[in-house]
Structure formats: structure tokens, C-alpha cells
Amino acid sequence: MVTTAERAPATERATRKERAARGKALRTEVPRTSHGDWEPARRRPKPIKLLEEQAAVREPSLVPIRYGRMAASPFAFYRGAAYVLASDLARSPATGIRVQLCGDAHLANFGGFASPERDLVFDLNDFDETLPGPWEWDIKRLAASIEVAARARDFGTKERTRVVRSAVESYRIAMRRFAGMKALETWYTSTDVRELRAEFGAQLRPEQLKKFEKAIAKGKSKDSARAYNKLAVSLNGSPRIAADPPLITPIEDLLPDAEAHQLDERMRGLIAQYAQTLPDDRRRLLSRFRYVHAARKVVGVGSVGTRAWICLMLGQDSEPLFLQAKEAQPSVLAPFLGASEYSNQGQRVVEGQRLMQATSDIFLGWIHLNGIDGQPRDFYVRQLCDWKTSAEIETLVPEGMTAYGRMCGWTLARAHARSGDAMAIGAYLGGGPAFDNALTRFAATYADQNERDHGSLVDAIKARQVPAETGV
């Protein structure tokens, strides 16, 4: 069986006909049905060991929160277990066609946010693990996440099968559509919520469509002004980010008094350094805001333990701007696919995001600095709140999850088509359901494994082998 590491990338000089023929020929070397085959390796690394490996380079005081959040449910575990799945996929069948991978393309890592033109667009929204690699890895992570989420909602076997297959079919059909497009046409393709409503609204019940519209309205209210009202307080006449330990800790509370006195000057220097990674026009816009305060903020599930900061900036007339600086460590895919071409992991995230998204945050940039512990670290920077919204997966009914899964499948195909050979991938996938059926089978099998892995974490917590803090 041909695997990821055993095939060279395709040449970009081949004609469309040659690329299509190559993709179709790969069906013989890597049968589409083979993607449905998965079983644990004989010496499969224990999931707890992999999680502990990640914990070794994270903030120790926050690691118990990560374990507690992952233990909450099999879906929560899956969200934090990108490293586990990458390890499992390392020897899986692959065509050798590479794309820019999200690396963590599960159902909860898609959502809406504002474009620079102030439209609410739908796209992938997490790129911490992005790296070039086999396109199959992302779609398998998405498919399995849908199966896991559907089980959490107590969908029946037939319903789960239908939801997963529909999402993979959407990916396949979209990829074949992109195969017929020219490069610029693919690059300019994006999806705003109006198009989503037109495309998928007919699949929803009236009450579900009402929730969809409500989520859109709620997303458009999420901006820096709202974050300011929620997170900031006045202290001695000056605005400050309110403490809410252990989730929000003001930066001065984490520093010795001697260093705290020099904090403002240092932060202004770091912001100036970050600004150098922005285009000139964005740098000019940022210069209209001044640094006020910063705090460490715990975010996500899998990200807990990596250092994440929020930074309050104020402009003219006290206009607030919240930036988020999130630590970027090497991708969980790197041990299996090789190191990034970028020495700064924050730049790796930013460049991968710009390549996969149709439109990105105007303040997206990166920085390298010595952390408060004196250790050198890479970060990427973006706005904390800019119309961000996502589906309430824990409330989706089968019709809603089917529509949402199809949206995610289409979006992932477009992201892959921007960097990979859509013609070859589309030809390989074909016009029939062979690949859809295979990944539906994989998703069910891997969801079983995920439940066992989640159980092993719960057992380890009960046995006090790993520390966990729940309900945080």
C-alpha cells in the first residue's frame, strides 16, 4: 500500500488532461475503498503518552484545565486529540497529492467572521496545526468529527451514516467543480452567509432556519466594542482587563514587581515588532491605537496550556481594539510530515491561514519574543473579536448537522483547491460514491477508537495518573 511518505509530489507543468489521467490512475495504486480501512497499529502510541508529550512544553498550571476539558465527552477529547489522529494517519493510504492542510479540520473549527469588506463569511477558522501534507488527512479528520458529534447527539446509525456521507460527498462534488475552474477563479471564490442561506437553507426546518439567522445576528455583534464592555474595567481612572483567574490573568500579576515597572515600554516595543509583519496600510491603521493593557487568557480545548494573550488597545475617542497573541508551537503534523519551511511558527500559521482562507483578518501577523519565563516563543496575532460565530453543534438535529457538514465539506475542498491539484484530486475521487462510502466507514471505526481513547483519559484521571481540573 502506498503511504504518505512514499510518493513524490506531482509536477505543476503537466497539462490538465495529464493531471486528470494521473489522478484517475491513482485509483489502481491506492483504491478509494482502502481509505475506509483502519485499525490500531500493533505498537500504537498510547494517547495519554502523546498528550503528555504536548503538555511538556505547555504552561504547567494550565495543563489540568486541558485534561479536564478533554475528559468532558468523546467529542471534547477528539477536539484536543489532533496529535493522536496524526499519529494514527501517518501510515494510512495516501495518493501523494499534497495540499496546505488545516491539520485540525474538525466540525467545530469552521465558522463565520468578518471580511475586510464587512461581509460575514464562512470558512475554516483554526490553523494552529497547518502544514503541507496529504489532502486525505483533513477530510478524514472532518468526517470522523461528524460521526463523533452525531453520536454525542444520540443520532441513530442510519442518521449518522447519512450525515457523514453527505459531508464527504459535498467535498468530492466541490473538488470536481474546482477542478474545472481556472486558478484565479478558484482563488476568488468565497462564501458569505447569504450564499450559505440560499444553498443550504432549504434543507432546514423553519425553527432551525430561525436559529441560523439568530446566530448570524449574534455574530455581527461580536466586535472589540462588545469585548471591551465584557472584559474591561476602570482602575484608578484607567481601563484595564478584568481578572478572572485562572481563565484571565492580568500580565502584571505574572511578573516580578521589578519587571512590571518596565512593562508598558516593553509591550510597546513588541507591538512595534509585530507591526513590521503587517502590510503598510494595516501598519498605518494599527498606529492609530496605543497599548493600554494585556492579560493571559485560556482559550479552546486542544490549545489550553499554550500561551495566549489578549491586548487592549485604544484609539482616538477611546475606540477599543482587542488583539489576541496566541503561542504557535510546531504543528502536530511535523513529526510525520517534516518541519515547516518557516523558522517562526507564528509565520507558519499566518501563511497557512492566508493560503487556505478566502479572506483573512486584517491584523493577522506574527512575532518572536522571550516569554515571561525567559524562554523564546513564537506567536501569531489577530483580532480577538471580529464578528466571530460558529454553530452550536451540541444542539444540531440530523437535518441541521447534515446541512452544516455539507457547508464544511465544500469549504474544505475550496481551501485545498487553492494550494493543491484540484484536477488530480477530483479525477481520483470520481463521480460516484466510492470515496464517500469509504470515509463513512473510516469515520465509524475511528469514532469507536476515539471513545476508547477518551475512556483511557477518564480512567487516568480517576487513577490520578494525570491531573485534571473540571468545570473550568
Q: Measured between alpha carbons, how far is 294 from 186 in angstroms, rounded to an integer?
A: 39
353, 383, 413 - which closes a domain? 383
Query: Does 139 share its domain with 182?
Result: yes
Which is nearest to 82 in space by CA: 150, 140, 32?
140
Amino acid at 345: Q
Beta-carbon neighbour count of residue 462 at 10 Å? Answer: 11
Contact present, 175 and 422 (Cβ < 8 Å)? yes
The three cell numbers of residue 238 are 484607567
Q: Which residues contact 12 (CB under 8 A, 6 or more apart)?
A: 421
**Are residues 282 and 428 both part of a single domain?**
no
Instruction: Give the model's confidence band at 5: pLDDT under 50 very low, under 70 low, under 90 confident, else very high.
Output: very low
Q: DSSP code of 3?
A: B
Asked if 124 and 144 sit in the same domain, the reply is yes
Q: What's residue 204's pLDDT?
A: 67
The region of weakest confidence among 187-191, 203-207, 382-386, 429-433 is: 203-207
Residue 113 lies inside a defined structural domain of this protein = yes
Looking at the structure, tell me whether residues 210 and 130 fall in a common domain. yes
Evaluate whether residue 469 is within a structural domain: no
Q: Do residues 169 and 297 share a domain?
A: no
Burial 94-126 (b: 16+ CB within 10 A, else e): bbbbbbbbbbbbbbbbbbbbbbeeebbbbbbbb
Does residue 103 form part of some domain? no
Residue 25 has phi, psi (to 5 degrees) of -65, -30
The residue assigned the cell 512595534 is 272
Q: Check residue 8 and give its pLDDT.
A: 41
Tell me the per-residue pLDDT of 266-289, one tens digit each, with 9 for 90 and over: 999 999 999 999 999 999 999 999
| Domain endpoint, select from 338, 361, 383 | 383
Residue 12 has pLDDT above 90, yes or no: no
Could you tell me the pLDDT band of residue 9, with boundaries at 50, 70 and 90?
Answer: very low
Residue 472 lies in a domain: no
Query: Is-contact 271 229, C-beta < 8 A?
Result: no
Task: Provide the 3-class DSSP secondary structure of residue 221.
Answer: coil
Domain-embedded: residue 468? no
Residue 1 has pLDDT above 90, yes or no: no
**More reliable by pLDDT, 2 or 96:** 96
Residue 128 lies in a domain: yes
Domain presence at residue 426: yes
pLDDT tens figures, 73-83: 999 999 999 99
Q: Please give the pLDDT value at position 152.
A: 97
- Residues 181 and 265 both lie in one domain: no
Cell numbers linked to 354:
492566508
pLDDT above 60 for 6: no
Per-residue pLDDT, 202: 66
| Alpha-carbon span 150 to 457, nearest angstrom | 21
Mean pLDDT for the stretch of residues 24-29 = 97
Answer yes or no: do 408 and 372 share one domain: no
The pLDDT value recorded for residue 10 is 46
Domain of residue 150, residue span? 4-98+109-219+393-462
Residue at a domain's end among 355, 383, 411: 383
What mean pLDDT comes out for the span 203-220? 72
* pLDDT for res 2: 45
Lowest mean pLDDT: which of 117-121, 172-176, 240-244, 409-413? 117-121
Nearest to 450 by CA among 203, 9, 82, 30: 82
Q: What is the pLDDT of residues 298-345, one digit of tens each?
A: 988 989 989 999 999 999 889 999 999 999 999 999 999 999 999 999
Helix 434-462 vs helix 157-179: crossing angle, to nearest 10? 120
Of 453, 472, 461, 413, which Cα lies nearest the Cα of 88? 453
Residues 113 and 216: their CA atoms lie apart, in Å, by: 10
The reply to whether 239 and 362 lie within a common domain is: yes
Question: What does the pLDDT read at residue 408?
Answer: 95
Q: What is the pLDDT of residue 7?
A: 46
Burial of 45 (0-12, 13-18, 19+ CB in 10 A): middle
pLDDT attached to residue 258: 59
Q: Note the pLDDT tens digit of each residue in 170-209.
A: 999 999 999 999 999 999 988 776 666 666 666 667 777 7
309 and 450 in a single domain? The answer is no
Q: How far apart are CA 168 and CA 413, in angstroms?
A: 10
- Residues of the chain with pLDDT > 90: what percent? 76
Cα separation, 453 vs 332, whole angstroms: 18
249 lies in the same domain as 188 = no
Per-residue pLDDT tens over the stretch 246-257: 999 999 999 877
HSE (CB half, 13 Å, CA atoms) of 462? 7
Residue 71 lies in a domain: yes
Total number of domains constituting the chain: 2
Write out pLDDT tens, residues 85-114: 999 999 999 999 999 999 999 999 999 888
